[in-house]
A = this chain, B = another copy of it.
Amino acid sequence: MDAGRILDDFRSGAITREQALSLLNKLPYEDIGFAKLDHHRQIRRGGIETVFCAGKTAEQVRAIFERFISTGGNAIGTRATPEQAEYVRAALPDVQYDPVSRLLYIMGNPKPRTGCVAVCTGGTSDQPVAEEAAKTAEFFGANVIRCYDVGIAGIHRLFACLDEIRTANAVVAIAGMEGALGGVIAGLVSVPVIAVPTSVGYGASFAGIAPLLTMLNSCAEGMSVVNIDNGFGAGYLAARINALVTQGNHP
């Protein structure tokens, strides 16, 4: 029941003024408010729902995908294990799984890609996080330039593809260990840089704390940071910025 129906029923006498007020009193939480929220989420995401698979049983993940599919929407699951993927795909063969990024997804209703974002990594070992970022950005409508393994040991490769990176509307910079890549890139481009520390490394990298702190303390302007190994969050945000820019002045 929505607010319009309440108004109509009230005017028609089907419900009393008291009943109308009681129904309206619940609406803020139940219908009006959060349908509105959901509407916003729907707009932002282009009809794609997300599920964090870690810690869920395979049954729970499948049930969630079934619900999304039944409502016709697209869906993307992060940190899905091969076992979860296998279980889901046995029942829902249209669902795809990428073992590198651990993404589980279905895109029945793909949208055309516009603009582009760049995804850069410091080393080969950062690739799983990078693919999570890149594929996520693609899901949410961006073209993606992949520029991997361009950390200090191979920084000439960063420069080699700098012109291409500069065509992007946002850059995702992924690095473990010392994590300096983010600051280096932020000093070279004029678009927002989203830095992703990774848990790649050992010893005093403390599973990502070291690059996280490096990135938070960077004196290079125009950079912000997401959680350790959070390729999804970075890819989503980059796609969001890309969409805003390609759509031009915000209405």
A residues with CB within 8 A of B: 3-4, 7-8, 10-11, 17, 20-21, 24-25, 27-30, 32-34, 36-38, 40, 43-45, 50, 52, 54-56, 60, 79, 115, 123-126, 151-153, 155-156, 159-160, 162, 167-169, 177-180, 183-184, 187-192, 194, 197, 199-230, 233-234, 236-237, 240-241, 244-246, 248-250
Contact = CB atoms under 8 A, between A and B. Distances in A.
Contacts of A214: 178-180, 210, 213-214
A115 B220 CA distance: 24
28 contacts: A3-B25, A4-B17, A4-B21, A7-B17, A10-B11, A24-B24, A30-B156, A30-B160, A34-B155, A79-B202, A115-B250, A152-B220, A179-B214, A180-B180, A180-B183, A180-B184, A191-B240, A191-B250, A202-B230, A203-B228, A203-B230, A205-B217, A210-B214, A211-B217, A217-B227, A223-B233, A244-B245, A245-B248
Contacts of A223: 226, 233, 237
B21 A3 contact: yes
B36 A32 contact: no
Nearest to A212: B204
A24 B32 contact: yes
Given A37-B187, A213-B209, A124 B56 contact: yes
A165 to B, nearest CB: 12
Contacts of A44: 190, 221-222
